[in-house]
Amino acid sequence: MTVTIVGSQLGDEGKGALVDIWGGDADVVVRYQGGDNAGHTVVRDGNEYKLSLVPSGAVRGKVGILGNGCVVNPETLFDELDTLREKGLDPDVRIARRAHAILPYHRVLDGIEEEVKSDSDLAAGTTKRGIGPTYEDKAGRRGIRIGDMLDPEVLRDRLEYVVPQKRDLAEEIYGLDIANSEHADAFDVDALFETYNEYGRRFREESMTVNCGDFLGNRLDDGDELLFEGAQGTSIDIDHGIYPYVTSSNPTAGGAAVGTGVGPTVIGQGEVVGIVKAYLSRVGTGPLPTELDGNETEEELADFIREKGGEFGTVTGRPRRIGWLDIPMLRHAARANGFTGIAVNHIDVLAGLDEVKVGHAYELDGEEIETMPATTERWGDCEPVLKSFEPWPEVDWAAVAEEGYEAIPANAREYLEYVSREVGAPIYAIGVGPGREETVVRANPFDSQ
């Protein structure tokens, strides 16, 4: 059966901890979208591994799959695999032949376009990993897939078609002097062919590529459990998020079907678990109605939460913006994903405050609304209708994790039960500290099927 783990907010909800915990019961852990924009930290046997592409399950001895919906930078992939191997692990990672490859020019163009947009308010604050430009080429039918890299002739043909276009774009539109820049090789067919043909050889020799849908279908037929590991979050989904301040893929649960070749009816029979952070954090740009930035007191509160929650980008190290939990955002996520359960992380971070608030609804044009408007401009016009909760004290969270749900301070439980009611899904787990063991697990989605 399948369990799909999805970010309910803006990414960085702490999905990795739950993937770690429930992934123990899975045989295969599958990423279905995104690429090396997704920072996750995996802890195993006391060692910490910072990964951005390799599925975290691969560190725990599971088969890790990068589905066709992913965009794969082979350089990052092999760097991460080599580092894991140097540390004595033997990760088994397979890549969908239908997944698209990120090429060096994608990264360069991502950086240039963000730079150009920085004069307006359109910059998404991307990770500059070339994610958007690679998905653009996929949709434009000029991308290079992992399967293309297995055949030198196909690879060369594809490069010869696309690279001159990229050169023109960089030079004619963006005014980059390629020859005299550090990026000359990124736009050179021969240099790209040499590098990517070598990656292709490694893919072939290490038998790393699969026909993803077939591979996963066979594993399901054999009775294996699959865990789909969403990266980023619902509100930065290209369709359901706060466009254009979004990533270029579908982190929502539907992406798990499209991005792997496992049918939606199969995924729909499984569990879809939304991961919620007890407040909001955001690395990118764009509006954020519940943001704590209105006055000095709010900014101090944001600083406190940022430090306590370690809210700095895993991939980029950028300090994250902080806000109160946004319930309309969660209602939207519950609908778009069809959550069968949720996990709420970081409730310990809010302990010891004078007052805890949530954005319960929005006020827009004098009316109260309960879900997110479909345009980001309208979302930016929303004023949060805040609801206050009695605060909860700082306690020994490690002891709470051991004792279970009833040991969570009563006011925090009230907060959790409110969230559960609003999204219409039960709480499967509560994160009460940064470590994996500091999680109160109430249900295992693999058991509830």
Tell me: is residue 317 an annotated ligand-binding position.
yes
Q: Which residues are identified as catalytic?
A: 12, 40, 138
Q: What is the 3-state secondary structure (H, E, C) of the chain?
A: CEEEEEECCCCCCCHHHHHHHHHCCCCEEEECCECCCCCEEEEECCEEEEECCCCHHHHHCCEEEECCCEEECHHHHHHHHHHHHHCCCCCEEEEECCCEECCHHHHHHHHHHHHHHCCCCCCCCCCCCCHHHHHHHHHCCCCCEHHHHHCHHHHHHHHHHHHHHHHHHHHHHCCCCHHHCCCHHHHCHHHHHHHHHHHHHHHHHCCCEECHHHHHHHHHHCCCCEEEECCCCHHHCCCCCCCCCCCCCCCCCHHHHHCCCCCHHHHHHCEEEEEEECCEEECCCCCCCCECCCCHHHHHHHHHHHHHHCCECCCCCCECEEECEEHHHHHHHHHHHCCCEEEEECHHHHCCCCCEEEEEEEEECCEEECCCCCCHHHHHHCEEEEEEECCCCCCCHHHHHHHCHHHCCHHHHHHHHHHHHHHCCCEEEEECCCCCCCEEECCCCCCCC
449 is in an annotated binding site: no
Name the residue with tokens 């109605």: 289
CB 434 to ligand IMP: min, Å: 17
Q: Which amino acid is at 377?
A: E
The only residue of 8, 68, 126, 345 in contact with ligand IMP, by rule CB under 6 A: 126
Residue 16 in the binding site for ligand IMP (CB under 6 A): no
Stretch that binds ligand IMP, among 120-128, 291-299, 368-376, 412-420 (CB under 6 A): 120-128
Which segment (129-137, 260-268, 324-332, 418-426) binds ligand IMP by CB under 6 A? 129-137
Out of 5, 9, 12, 259, the only residue in the binding site for ligand IMP (CB under 6 A) is 12
Q: How far is the CB of 286 from ligand IMP (least distance, A)?
A: 7
Q: Which of 101, 131, 212, 333 binds ligand IMP (CB under 6 A)?
A: 131
Shortest Å, Cβ 11 to ligand IMP:
3
Find out whether 16 is annotated in a ligand binding site.
yes
140 labelled ligand-binding: no
Using CB under 6 A as the binding rule, the residues of this chain from 170 to 229 that contact ligand IMP are none
From candidates 132, 255, 261, 270, binder to ligand IMP by CB under 6 A:
132
Q: Shortest distance, CB of residue 4 to ligand IMP, whole angstroms? A: 17
| Per-residue contact flags (x/-) with ligand IMP for residues 34 to 73, judged by CB under 6 A | ---xxx----------------------------------
Least distance (Å) from ligand IMP to the CB of residue 160? Answer: 27
Q: How far is the CB of 241 from ligand IMP (least distance, A)?
A: 9
147 is in an annotated binding site: no
Q: Which stretch binds ligand IMP (CB under 6 A): 31-39, 164-172, 288-296, 339-347?
A: 31-39
Cα(378)–Cα(214) distance, integer angstroms? 43
User: Which residue, 104 or 200, is less far from ligand IMP as judged by CB?
Assistant: 104
Does 431 count as an annotated binding residue? Answer: yes
CA 357 – CA 324 distance, rounded (Å): 6
230 annotated as belonging to a binding site for a ligand: no
CB-wise, 243 or 304, nearer to ligand IMP? 243
Residues 226-285 that bind ligand IMP (CB under 6 A): 231-232, 236, 245, 247-248, 283-284
Residue nearest to ligand IMP (CB): 284
* 125 near ligand IMP (CB under 6 A): yes
Two structure tokens written together for 158: 């594809």
**Number of shown-chain residues binding ligand IMP (CB under 6 A):** 20
CB of 8 to ligand IMP, least distance (A): 13
CA distance 379 to 400: 37
Residue 44 CB burial class (10 angstroms; 0-12, 13-18, ≥19): middle
443 is in an annotated binding site: no
Token code pair at residue 214 = 């077939």
Return the number of the residue (14 or 147) whose C-beta is nearest ligand IMP. Answer: 14
Rounded CA separation 281/153 (Å): 46
Q: Which residues bind ligand IMP (CB under 6 A)?
A: 11-12, 37-39, 124-127, 129, 131-132, 231-232, 236, 245, 247-248, 283-284
Binding site for Mg(2+), residues? 12, 39
Binding site for substrate, residues? 314-320
Binding site, residues? 11-17, 37-41, 127, 141, 232, 247, 314-320, 346-348, 431-433
